[in-house]
Amino acid sequence: MVRLSLRWRVALALGLGTVVLAGVLAVVTWNLASGYMLRQRETSAIRQAEVNVQLVDASLRTGSEGLGDLLSGLTSSSDATILIERPSGWLTSGRQVDADVLPPALLRMATDGVPAHQRLNAQGIPVLAVTLPVDGGESAYVELFPLTQLDQAFRFLSTVLAIGVAASGLLGLGLGHWAGRRALRPLTELTQAAARVVGGDLRARLPDRDDPDLASLAATFNRTADALEKRVRRDARFAGDVSHELRSPLTTMANAGAVLRRRRDELTGTAGRALDLLLGEIGRFQRMVVDLLEISRDDLRPDEVPDEVVDLGDVVRHVVAVRPGKPPEVDLVAQPPLVLADRRRLDRTVANLLDNADKYAGGAVRVAVLRHGGRARLEVDDSGPGVPDDQREQIFERFARGPYAGRRGVDGGSGLGLALVAQDVRWHGGAVRVEDRPGGGARFVVELPEVHR
């Protein structure tokens, strides 16, 4: 079941409340207006019927032969009807309506001389039937007053009220959505700022607020972000200082190792194997220190921005050309995309992806530069065992080596290569991920903003 967002729940609640309130007001307005109009029409119809029946009664008492003409004059409306019970049957004037279509209870009251009135539908036309005794109670008088105009007024009023309720609901929904968006704007800003911090932008802050309810939230977040930024910079400075201090002794150890490597043939057995392990660890340690220096340098200088337009295809061709061993297949579009980048960082990104394929997947089999969704796309394919789903984000973290953690050797890696890739790609405003390669293996995908020619 799809759960609506808080903004839409607020909008729907306000819209529903507006509909309910407008509906109640519409019902009350309808009852008051229709009841008043109907009572007015009934009162005027009964008074008119009383006046008419007096004229008819006087005509009947005098035995005037002009009863038909009188009835014709009384039924000025084409939809009005007058029925008088005579010994020979019902005398009808105006619109011809058979007395049999009238409700039996109304006819009984008419013949019994009981005054009454009732709304009904006579042959498709709404009418008000008024019954009065005539000729001393010897005859019955029934007059049908048309309610066509009143019915049209009721229809118009009901349509206006229904449209008003619907419009109120839409207005309430719109106001609710606007109010929800405005009320949740600080939360949206907080979410965006937190996402920027998670993405590596430690300078993200919330603007100061005049609202006392929001000022404390913004101040707390900004203090937390300040403390986090200071901590990260302190840690980066510490890592940089340690790495820098380690370079001199590592250089000495590497030089001493080079001297011992030249005399490797003189060392046999356990001493020779120990020397091989030592030289391998020194090489891995050197690469780790260099990577740590790069990472700490980037952490300490986050304000740098790419300022060079670089041909991504040219970068790939250059990196592949200078690597030893069998080169992978290079797949480039006819006009490789341009990106705004730091050429050194971009070279390092491609090289680290190829190094990762060499260490863990037997080497890259394809490197492609494409366009996808308006962005420049770099793909590095290998035919290795692939990357499990639960490790596809973890491998881009620092010192994450997956199933190879704990192993040592010249090809063991330091766990910093893909972390540098992720850091450099984020610095360029792009994204990196790993997918399954069609046919088996892994596909590392880097997407960067394209600069149009």
* Residue 56, pLDDT above cutoff 60: yes
Residue-level pLDDT at 409: 47
Alpha-carbon distance values, 15 to 29, 162, 240 (Å)? 20, 15, 58
Alpha-carbon distance values, 18 to 25, 27, 176, 178, 217 (Å)? 10, 14, 10, 15, 32
In sequence order, which ranges of 263-311 are alpha helices (DSSP H)?
269-300
Query: Parallel, antiparallel, or unpaired for β 364-372 and 329-332?
Result: parallel
With b meaning 16 or more CB within 10 Å and e meaning fewer, what string describes 286-298? Answer: bbbbebbbbbbeb
Assigned CATH topology for domain 212-298: Helix Hairpins (1.10.287)
Percent of the chain scoring above 70 in pLDDT? 86
Neighbours of 256 (CB within 10 A): 13
Residue-level pLDDT at 299: 59
Residue 439 CA, distance from chain mean position: 36
Q: What is the pTM of this model?
A: 0.51
Residue-level pLDDT at 220: 86
Residue-level pLDDT at 295: 66
* Residue 401, pLDDT above cutoff 70: no
Calpha distance 93→71 (Å, rounded): 6
What one-character-per-residue DSSP string does 114-163 give?
A: --EEEEEEETTEEEEEEEEEETTTTEEEEEEEE-HHHHHHHHHHHHHHHH
Residue-level pLDDT at 26: 92
Q: What is the mean pLDDT of residues 124-139?
A: 80
Q: Amino acid identity, residue 159?
A: T
Between 87-96, 125-134, 328-337, 353-362, the lowest mean confidence (pLDDT) is in: 87-96
* Residue 153, pLDDT above cutoff 70: yes
Calpha distance 334→417 (Å, rounded): 30
Check for a shared fold between 6-154 and 212-298.
no
What one-character-per-residue DSSP string does 36-76 give?
A: HHHHHHHHHHHHHHHHHHHHHHHHHHHT-TTHHHHHHHH--
Least Cα distance to 300 among 233, 231, 228, 204 occurs for 233
Residue-level pLDDT at 296: 65
Residue found by looking up tokens 């300078």 in the block: 203
Is 140:85 a contact under the CB 8 Å cutoff?
A: yes
Domain 306-451, classified CATH 3.40.50.300, yes or no? no
Is 102:121 a contact under the CB 8 Å cutoff?
A: no
Assigned CATH topology for domain 6-154: Beta-Lactamase (3.30.450)
Calpha distance 136→122 (Å, rounded): 28
Higher pLDDT among residues 67 and 388, named by residue: 388
Neighbours of 165 (CB within 10 A): 20
Q: What is the mean pLDDT of residues 350-362?
A: 90
* Residue 15, pLDDT above cutoff 70: yes
Long-range pairs for 335-338: beta carbons < 8 A, 24 or more residues apart: 335/453, 336/311, 336/312, 336/369, 337/312, 337/313, 337/369, 337/371, 337/376, 337/450, 337/451, 338/309, 338/310, 338/311, 338/312, 338/376, 338/450, 338/451, 338/452, 338/453
Between 165-179, 212-226, 345-359, the lowest mean confidence (pLDDT) is in: 212-226
Residue 114 φ/ψ, nearest 5 degrees: -100, 120
What is the H or E stretch that residue 169 is in?
A: helix 148-198
Q: Amino acid identity, residue 94?
A: G
* Residue 202, pLDDT above cutoff 90: no
Calpha distance 197→222 (Å, rounded): 11
pLDDT tens per residue across span 238-297: 666 666 677 677 778 777 777 777 777 777 778 778 877 877 777 777 777 766 666 666
* Residue 339, pLDDT above cutoff 60: yes
Residue-level pLDDT at 366: 94
Q: If pLDDT is split at 50, 70 and 90, which confidence band does 408 have?
A: very low
| Per-domain residue ranges of the chain | 6-154, 212-298, 306-451
